[in-house]
């Protein structure tokens, strides 16, 4: 059986992570910011996740410099959100598009983001993206070599509604075997219509094939 996890942002305000943990969720990945926009619910989600004993990390929705803010300015926002904490692992969310749906980020942008975070003392466990984006980035599909773990969105043919266990495609699903940059997923986001904790909306659901200790090791915790 995998570990189940939620990734949450201000769009999931009110979701009770204590109840989610009691229902069998093991980890939470919390949005810190979108570019220089501070997620206003980040600190509340972070406190709830840690108090509930969930394995916790954060994510940064990376914006391309062409969208108006530098990578350094975006990491300034992370500094402001975390207020000196360096122990929260930060995933880099790579999916920023223009109004026509074209990818705005390159592999160089991703490396620059990782470098900026690490230079300021943060841990970067890896990258979040999907084949729809990673394979169409500026300059072509980047290698994952050196970028760490891979957290991939792949909802299959149907993005159904249900609990994490109801929707999980299985440890042997082909979705686990589809590589980006020659790296297969470490964490699979397999739906965005998950039900958890009686929350009236829906939430992204994820799975990790391993133990709690394995996941903590992946996150350098």
Residue 75: phi, psi to the nearest 5? Answer: -70, -25
Structural domain total, the chain: 1
User: Which pLDDT does position 12 carry in this prediction?
Assistant: 96
- For residue 70, being part of any structural domain is answered with yes
Q: Is 137 inside a domain boundary?
A: yes
Which tokens sit at 15?
Answer: 């979701």
- Domain membership of residue 218 (yes or no) is no
CA distance linking residue 113 with residue 131, whole number of Å: 20
Kindly state whether residue 26 falls inside one of the protein's structural domains. Answer: yes
Two structure tokens written together for 80: 């402001």
In a domain, 129, yes or no: yes
Q: Does residue 87 belong to any structural domain of this protein?
A: yes
Question: What CATH number is attached to the domain comprising 41?
Answer: 3.20.20.80
| pTM listed for this prediction | 0.97
Residue 221 has a pLDDT of 81
Q: Is residue 62 part of a domain?
A: yes
SS3 of residue 113 by DSSP? helix
- What are the backbone dihedrals phi and psi of residue 103, each rounded to the nearest 5 degrees, phi first? -65, 135
> Closest by alpha carbon to 193, among 171, 172, 166, 175?
166
Domain range for 165: 3-213
C-alpha dihedral (110, 151, 96, 31), degrees to nearest 10: -100
Residue 15 near residue 8 (C-beta atoms within 8 A): yes
- Along the 221 residues of the chain, how does pLDDT read in single tens digits? 899 999 999 999 999 999 999 999 999 999 999 999 999 999 999 999 999 999 999 999 999 999 999 999 999 999 999 999 999 999 999 999 999 999 999 999 999 999 999 999 999 999 999 999 999 999 999 999 999 999 999 999 889 999 999 999 999 999 999 999 999 999 999 999 999 999 999 999 999 999 999 999 999 88
Classify residue 160: in a domain, yes or no. Answer: yes
């Amino acid at each position: 059986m995998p570990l189940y996890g939620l990734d949450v942002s201000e769009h999931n305000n009110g979701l009770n992570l204590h109840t989610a943990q009691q229902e069998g969720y093991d980890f939470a990945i919390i949005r810190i910011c979108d570019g220089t926009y501070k997620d206003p619910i980040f600190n509340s989600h972070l406190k709830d996740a840690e108090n509930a004993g969930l394995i916790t990390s954060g994510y940064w929705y990376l914006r391309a410099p062409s969208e108006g803010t530098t990578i350094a300015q975006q990491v300034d926002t992370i500094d402001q959100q975390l207020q000196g904490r360096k122990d929260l692992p930060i995933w880099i969310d790579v999916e920023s598009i223009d109004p026509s749906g074209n990818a705005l980020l390159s592999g160089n942008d991703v490396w620059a983001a990782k470098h900026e975070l690490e230079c300021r003392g943060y841990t970067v466990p890896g990258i979040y993206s999907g084949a729809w984006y990673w394979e169409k980035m500026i300059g072509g599909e980047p290698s994952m070599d050196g970028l760490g773990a891979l957290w991939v969105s792949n909802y299959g043919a149907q993005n159904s509604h249900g609990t994490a266990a109801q929707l999980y495609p299985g440890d042997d699903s082909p979705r686990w075997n589809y590589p980006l940059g020659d790296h297969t997923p470490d964490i699979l986001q397999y739906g965005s219509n998950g039900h958890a904790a009686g929350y009236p909306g829906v939430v992204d659901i994820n799975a990790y094939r391993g133990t709690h200790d394995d996941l903590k090791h992946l996150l350098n915790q």
